[in-house]
Structure 1
Amino acid sequence: MCLNGSDIKVVHNTAVPNALAVDWIGKNLYWSDTEKRIIEVSKLNGLYPTILVSKRLKFPRDLSLDPRAGYLYWIDCCEYPHIGRVGMDGTNQSVVIETKISRPMALTIDYVNHRLYWADENHIEFSNMDGSHRHKVPNQDIPGVIALTLFEDYIYWTDGKTKSLSRAHKTSGADRLSLINSWHAITDIQVYHSYRQPD
């Protein structure tokens, strides 16, 4: 599909797709299926579909890729809430965050500072890519986060309860600003810029 919405093609029929991530370097497409409890991968054109993760998944909610390091990260939000990581080839599956996490809903990566960011209940946290050095972004009370992304010094999130798009400084929580208020919940957000797709 082009950015203007033209040239739409169905490349896969899945039961209940929940998250989607594009490997801009390897030209692969990753997605989670919450009914089958799996994460799959294929080429962007749909060829060579393969199950990447099928063990220890209950409700894979969001995906983020770090193609330079070769890892896919996901959040599992329900029975056993955690953030997992697997090699983009399906090897080295592990749990990165499993303590002091109750209902993670959104995940993104700070490629410049090599950090994971996630929303859990009413706040946003960040850590190193291996889950070490966890911190909460201060001054946050955001109980309905649906999606997260980063750009430069700011974290952006959509809130399903207030039906809004907001931003704040990614580590201090300062300069919080509501950017858009909508009639309907904004279910996803992406930044299209080279900083979000480093080589």
Structure 2
Amino acid sequence: VQLITGLYNPSALAVDPLRGLLFWAQCGTSPKVEKSSLDGSSRTDVVTSLIQQPVALSLDLPRQLLYWFDQGMRSISRVTLDGSHRKTVVESNGYLDRLFGLAVFEGFLYWGDEVTGSVCRANKHSGSNLQVLMSNITSPGGVAILHPVLQPNRPSVCGRPRMTCQHRCVVDLHPERLRFSCSSPETKLNNSQAPGISSTVPAKPLSDATFAGYLSLIMFLSLLLVGTALWWWREELRPSRSLTLQSFSLKESRDPLIIPTPSGSEPGVGPGRKPC
């Protein structure tokens, strides 16, 4: 299922489950940061100016702030979720050459730099108190922070802004569009109905020629079956005919087979004829 189309070189993604918002960044000729609802509707621009190459996004959910790293400008900036109150927090300081991850937790920004092979942190409001937490990292892949605060147990938006779930939002993928539903711990589900993400694959439609061939074959077999049934029915109801002597009427032939001849004449010689 395609939620967002028309993107050019998308580079980062972030999700706000409490408010049902999806954020993404794209580079290329028109670099910017956008947002939409979880079903892809209500698409809106968040950052479109003074941006070159956004490659990392992170959300500060308690304060409703969006942070991004711009590799072209070598800086980390932030805005509110509607794109206002923009501020540059961290500028090029020797550890912002090529980020491989960005995260926000409590009062700090955390990121990893691939060039120096290090993980750093700084104050999320001013960029001060820079600390190198780890160094000499080989083959870095990303930065993630796990904490219960980052997974709040609160009602969250499920699909559209007006649909809120108290416990869990279940997403069902369909060829045409997404379907969202709420699930509670008391709901008894079979294994086949367990909440999660499922995908249905549509059957391949038949071509017009194939469909016409099948239809012709079905009509031919139907006519053949009807004809066979009618023939059997006529044979079963037809009265039986028995050949008896009474069924024939024997009449005397008016033309005798032997023509009587006069006495003294040879057969085959009529009166007035001479024998050969």
Taking structure 1 as the reference length, the TM-score comes to 0.71
Q: Distance in 2 between matches of 1:91 and 1:195?
A: 28
* Equivalent residue, structure 2, for 1:186: 140
Q: Which has the higher strand share?
A: 1
For 1:138 and 1:58, the matched residues in 2 are separated by: 27
Equivalent residue number for residue 125 of structure 1: 77
Deviation at 1:126, TM superposition (A): 0.6
Distance 2:32 2:91 in 1: 24
Q: Could you say what secondary structure the match of 1:195 adopts? A: helix
Structure 1 counterpart of 2:12, one-letter code: D
Partner residue, 1:145 = 99
Instruction: Name the residue aligned to 2:24.
Output: 74
The CA distance in 1 between the partners of 2:59 and 2:31, in whole Å, is: 19
One-letter amino acid of the structure 1 residue matched with residue 141 of structure 2 = T
1:53 aligns with 2:7: no
> Separation in 1 of the partners of 2:82 and 2:54?
17
Q: Alignment length, in residue pairs?
A: 149
SS in 1 for 2:58: strand
Query: How far apart are 1:182 and its partner, in Å?
Result: 2.8
User: Which residue identity is paired with 2:16?
Assistant: D
| TM-score scaled by length of structure 2 | 0.52
Partner in structure 2 of residue 113 of structure 1: 63
- In 1, are the aligned partners of 2:76 and 2:91 still within 8 Å (CA)? no
Larger CA deviation: 84-93 vs 137-146: 137-146
Rate the CA distance shift 1:185–1:101 in 2: closer, same or farther, 3 A: farther
**Unpaired runs of 5+ in structure 1?**
1-49
Q: Give the 3 Å change call, closer, same or farther, for CA 93–194 of structure 1 in structure 2.
A: same
Give the superposition deviation at 1:162. Answer: 1.1
Please tell me whether the aligned partners of residues 139 and 174 of structure 1 are also in contact (alpha carbons under 8 angstroms): no
Pick from 134, 151, 154 the counterpart of residue 86 of structure 2: 134
1:88 maps to 38
Unaligned runs of 5+ in 2: 155-276
CA positional deviation for 1:80: 1.4
C-alpha displacement of 1:139: 5.4
Percent identity (aligned): 32
* Mapped contact 1:159–1:185 kept (Cα < 8 A): no
Residue 139 to residue 91, structure 1, CA distance change in 2 (3 Å)? closer
- 1:167 matched to 2:117: no
Q: Is the 8 A contact 1:84 1:94 kept in 2?
A: yes
Going by fraction, where is helix more abundant, 1 or 2? 2
Provide the rounded CA distance (Å) in 2 between the counterparts of 1:138 and 1:95.
23
Question: By how many angstroms is 1:60 displaced?
Answer: 1.2
Equivalent position SS for 2:3: strand
Secondary structure of the corresponding residue to residue 52 of structure 1: coil
